[in-house]
Amino acid sequence: MRRFKIQPVVRATALLAAAAAAAHVHSQTAADASALALPAPVQATVARSAGNDTVRLFVRLADKPLAAVAGNKKTGMKMTAAEQRAYSAQLAAKQAALMSQISGLGGAQLAALTKAGNALVVEVAASQTSAIAAMAGVAEVLEVADGQLDLAETVPYIGAAAVQAALAPLVGNQAGGSR
């Protein structure tokens, strides 16, 4: 009795199916993307909240983050592990002191960064933004914009509908609809 190895057969079948799907997708005409072109010049603006609306702020502190002072394997480490922990603790202490002031303005901490960036992400009344920017140790305050994904625009743009349609006969209902 001769034994066949199943894995190579499955792999070959999968490669053939992928090649057939790719050929089908390639044969489809490309979607017209001219409507996606933006008029020049493009300017990005963030709507500023007014009054007591709640905003999320990225508050960058003046001290350098750990990654900027510790060095790296390529250029050589400038700090030992113990020195890195001590520096991170110093940053955390300064952040806690600043957060205490922000809490006094009714703010709440959402995140704290010390490794790649030295910053706090806070939620506070929009009217307190200027007061936070004026605090000692604050280098910059940026409003965090809420981005909204719209799959109705992105799915056709990247050609996902054509791929789903090409794969539908191969995998049944799963590729073309919701699960």
Identify the pLDDT of residue 40: 53
Answer whether residue 52 shows pLDDT above 70: no
Q: Which pTM value belongs to this model?
A: 0.56
**Range in 6-15, 110-119, 132-141, 143-152 with the lowest mean pLDDT:** 6-15
Q: Tell me the three state secondary structure of residue 68.
A: helix
Task: Dump pLDDT digits (tens) for 58-72.
Answer: 999 999 999 998 987
Domain ranges of the chain: 54-143, 149-179
Label residue 43 by pLDDT band (50, 70, 90).
very low
Could you give the CA distance from residue 68 to residue 87 in angstroms, rounded to a whole number?
A: 11
In 32-137, beta strands by DSSP E: 54-61, 71-72, 76-77, 108-113, 119-125
CATH superfamily of 54-143: Peptidase S8 propeptide/proteinase inhibitor I9 (3.30.70.80)
Task: Dump pLDDT digits (tens) for 86-141.
Answer: 999 999 999 999 999 999 999 999 999 999 999 999 999 999 999 999 999 999 99
